[in-house]
Structure 1
């Protein structure tokens, strides 16, 4: 740590959430410098953040940490959208190989004091056998076999390995609920932005959200004064999918699970929404995470409830074109004509 405060490296600043968080962190008390790292430059204003163009999949990240005298690393570049990453293969490389290289560099940095990792409640999965609320010690009922959920689980395993090898570094891992807000671009916000929202027939899942401002607050708290450990993070309360759709004043159409999955593939190809197997599971079974440890041990109390985060997101919704409506109508026609169910689809 420099005489003027912490020197923090933040990954994933080319995306809006990472860039805005780095700016907020640079303005917080006790932080001397923030270095934003990503493979491509951010589009928006970085403020007082110093940007370094570097791919964390490359060992050069170790030189950045050493040259800048970094004492704190915030890892935000585990991404959920293969479309924005250039495909599933590239997404996995960025998530898994990138994390491995970053942690290898961090392990060789003697001056490193703290590591904060933004993870996701998606690691718990979503199935019909889930508990009402997942605590941090619980394992998913079905281990993720592909996609973002599998990447996040692998990232967490590497972080735990790092914590064992460097017990002198304070490691805080935040399992965040789906982040929601007017500026958030994610598979779930793309789903809610659709002009007609497809839902899984016979299911009304429970959802939890974390407002984007609360994400920035909890990660800043973790940088400054957080205990070592893993913490579930979500706004208070849960909301049913049907309630969320009504509050957003969006029309919906109920389809069998396999039809929603087929529709999701079509929408993904059309770049209208980024459906994934884990999202389809969430929209079928839902998920709840217990945030007792967040409040009692981490000392964090979100400013926005789940319902308030959704409400703030809804204020920014704008009408979209009719192409998605036609795709959904076509999916309904396929269901009526007896579209065969693909293998691997969630069953009710």
Structure 2
């Protein structure tokens, strides 16, 4: 099949987008929590390729180049600015290699820019620096031939606008998603739906939300965005049980922990007991699809198995759906007639 563009795919139905490489690389042991810099693209390219592959096989239509936090400011902080360009180009090239492996239609490759954590609405110098940081990364994306750009996790509306402007400067399509902090409003005063409406009107192909919030605390805002925006809308929550009292994963408590945590809260390395299971995430995906969310996925903390459940919930058979759960032949819980019947007596006692 000829490779369709992102817009063509969106016109024909929902697009699945697997994100969350940051936590996945840390979980696999190839990225340091805290600094969260994706040096794995240079140090362990085989590991990154396999991770890309795992998410693509789980249903992602997009191989997102892992350059989150691979911007000049973050590289300055860790003293490795000389690795900035090699890291960005390597992440994209590895993504392109994996995208070509898709057995039915080559996956899309997205370049990635994100929140810089230096944006200050009162400081023009910071805005100029942000623009410069985006521009150099996007020039490399353009040269490496990505299909579109994913600009993500912006908690300032104006920073998202700068990202969109620089993406458009390169003549590339833009997916722009916002990270809504616990104030429930963008940090420069815009509501998330107002910000998304403006970004859509300015020409972003897809707008919406990603990260920070789980399904329960993101969905109400996705509904507002869907009502405010005429174009395509994205929803990519984290897979954690956030609540109205604790709407983001930055301050989620774990009342059952008996040990002393090295961090103030469970974020980022003690979130394990707070996961949604895959079936809860699948129910969210159905709900998101029903209200017209077009670009659907999961963010930090998501596993390929979770993403596969999301894809299957909205009617998409993935490459690895052949490995989806089937308890028919399980020795305790299966119904296959060839199983030893007496084992069923131990189901409640196992």
Shorter-chain TM range is 0.3 to 0.5
Richer in strand (by share): 1
TM-score (norm: length of structure 2): 0.34
